Structure 1
Amino acid sequence: MAKLTTIGFDADDTLWHNERFFRITQERFAQLLAQYADPDHLMERLLEAEKRNISHYGFGIKGFVLSMIETALDVTGDKVPGPVIRSLVEAGQDMLRHPIELLPHARDAIAAVAEQYRVVLITKGDLLDQERKLAQSGLGELFDGVEIVSEKTTAVYAGIFDRHGDGASYGMMVGNSMKSDVVPMVQAGGWGVYVPHGLEWEIEKADAPEDAPRFRQLTDLGELPALIAALR
């Protein structure tokens, strides 16, 4: 078995809260459009728009706001009031200004792992927003490298762990998304460690690779150092 040398960490909802702010904004969105669509139908239309638009806007708050505006236009037959559009833009600005809230054990887990391994932050989304969140988190100094990518695929992980480590087979990816953090890393030949957050975006759902020998699941990041020690 290849010896671990490099550990990758996801950011949003692995190290700090993120999805909760999208949920709050979705509730605000539903209130603003209440006279045009019931909440369940509105959320279905919004999810459809987000899926369509990922290839255009990528992941992040800005694409989310544009998808809300598009959905508002669709459900109102292009008659959505101007103040509603303004409120949606302001909601996105509020999200971009929201302070970072670290998840339990985030700093301690990274610091403990960094004593013996190279650690890399691997996150996807809007470049400026991800850089802002990392700076506000106070965790930047703990990482040996930072990768902000448009998508997390097997090829992307192979490239990152080649650049920052000794290849994916010597690496581990830790995150809250089965689809983005675990499955493609396992497929690349590395370890995929799932740390569920509790709130999960529909687009990030995927089946766990239960039969994969390099798949693990933890309750929280506090269990990570012990897991890595057990794999030596």
Structure 2
Amino acid sequence: MAVVTAHIESAGYRGRPDVIQDVHFEVAPGELVGLIGPNGAGKSTTIKALLGLLPEVKGEITFGDGKAHYAYIPEHPVLYEDLTLWEHLELAASAMGLKGDEFQQRAEELLTLYRLTEVRHHLTSSFSKGMQQKIMLVLGFLHKAELYIVDEPFIGLDPKAIRDFLAMLDRERERGAGVLMSTHVLDTAERICSSFLLVSDGGIVASGTLQDIREACGLPEATLFECFTALTEEE
């Protein structure tokens, strides 16, 4: 069973209800789907539709068996300036229903992985943008979800943090979690994604494996970047 299935006839905002149209896809357990497209193509609107943040949505979105948990890692850090890193973790754990040893073990593991142990009791407003982005990764992975929705995760991360993030994604996929990841870093996406959704002008112009994308644009040996350019310029 897919961890998420989306059949979106249209979705958008008040006054603009059809920013995206006919967006249909699913993410299977263990799959990493790259959501690719130029600025303004509809990637963020698609993600907001999945998260239930849009006032106008026609269609159906189903998460697994209806009880599946998902985690969202946004492009820009969303933090409370008067809370420490540890207080953010405690707040998130309370919302997720994580308690006691389970929370403590997972939090310690993630703080160690992203080298944030020594600053756990510091206010997050004092952190650099890169450190704040690491906090969003820690919060996103605090609860082991069935689906991770990740928006432009590489912005602000140093190479070691990117490596650790990708390794974490691999471990989560191995246990059966699915990932939907929006990114402009196409060379990395080509290397790590199992399939792609290419979005342009509010709709999906191609989907599937890299080979499927190549066939859609008639370029059998092309890179993802070359396919992306060919398909979006056609629009």
TM-score, normalisation: structure 2? 0.28
Q: Which has the higher strand share?
A: 2
| Greater share of helix | 1
Q: What TM-score, normalized by structure 1, do the two folds share?
A: 0.28
